[in-house]
Amino acid sequence: MLQKTRDTILLGLEELGLSNLPARPYDCPFELLAAPKTRKKLIIVGFNGSLADMASTNSLSVIDGYENPSFFNVKAGMDGAWGVTHLAKRLYALPAELGFDPNDTIYTNALLMCSKNAWAVKKTAEASTLGSLSALIERSMLFFSKITVAMAQPELIIAYSNGKTSHSAARILLNSFGNGDTPDYVSVDPYYSTYGFTATFGDSKIPVVGIRHLSRFKSDNELIKLAWQRQLAKQN
């Protein structure tokens, strides 16, 4: 399954023109990506890659993961590979606080391209082979739907960055898969802003909860649970 998973991911990247962009598609172990779908119930989505992953490309990162299938980049971040450690520690702690296992969690990004920061992503995308931010969003979301979600059976997607008007992980997912849904805010507090919506992937409807970016804000996990439950209630 490791080789088949590698080839599926690489083909998806190639078909969408994402292979050679500087980024790392996944921060979870490769062996998890190749595991049965039923093991993967939670997907945590950031905005885009940082300078920590700028030295490689999407395809090379996948090949490296295949060759080192137990490497867990979030744990490496906890040990200082990302510079500051609090983001990785929060990412690793979050699943267990919601009833999931961090070792069974897919960690990825909405946009499969690194930039200096979130504000630089538009300019970086325009300078890439894709030529525009809109193309990067479209291709990245196609990859998310066709590859990442397809390899799992997610009960919940958490998007950590949820700007109301600016591009963010939650906003990109909402615009791409929300099917006209609107953000259901459970908190508009500037620090703990949290909302939910339901994403549609084919015949599957998956609750999504958008929270502030964990590099700068702590999450309120009771708010996440509330937003999640309200989306489940809408489906019943």
pLDDT by residue, tens only, the chain of 236 residues: 999 999 999 999 999 999 999 999 999 999 999 999 999 999 999 999 887 788 899 999 999 999 999 999 999 999 999 888 999 999 999 999 999 999 999 999 999 999 887 778 899 999 999 999 999 999 999 999 999 999 999 999 999 998 877 789 999 999 999 999 999 999 999 999 999 999 999 999 999 999 999 999 999 999 999 999 999 999 87
**pLDDT at residue number 120:** 84
Asked whether the beta carbons of 148 and 43 are under 8 A apart, the reply is yes
**pLDDT at residue number 119:** 77
Q: Which residue has the tokens 């196609």?
A: 142
Spacing of C-alpha 131 from chain mean position? 22
**pLDDT at residue number 167:** 87
- In sequence order, the 6+-apart residues with CB closer than 8 A to the CB of 77 are 27, 52, 85, 87, 88, 91
Helix (H, G, I), strand (E, B) or coil at 86: helix
**pLDDT at residue number 117:** 74
**pLDDT at residue number 51:** 77
Q: Kind and range of the H or E element at 201?
A: strand 194-201
* Structural domains in the chain, sorted by start: 36-52+81-235 (3.40.980)
Strand-pair partners of 200 = 205
CA neighbours within 13 Å on the CB side: how many for 160?
Answer: 23
Neighbours of 123 (CB within 10 A): 12
The model's pTM is 0.97
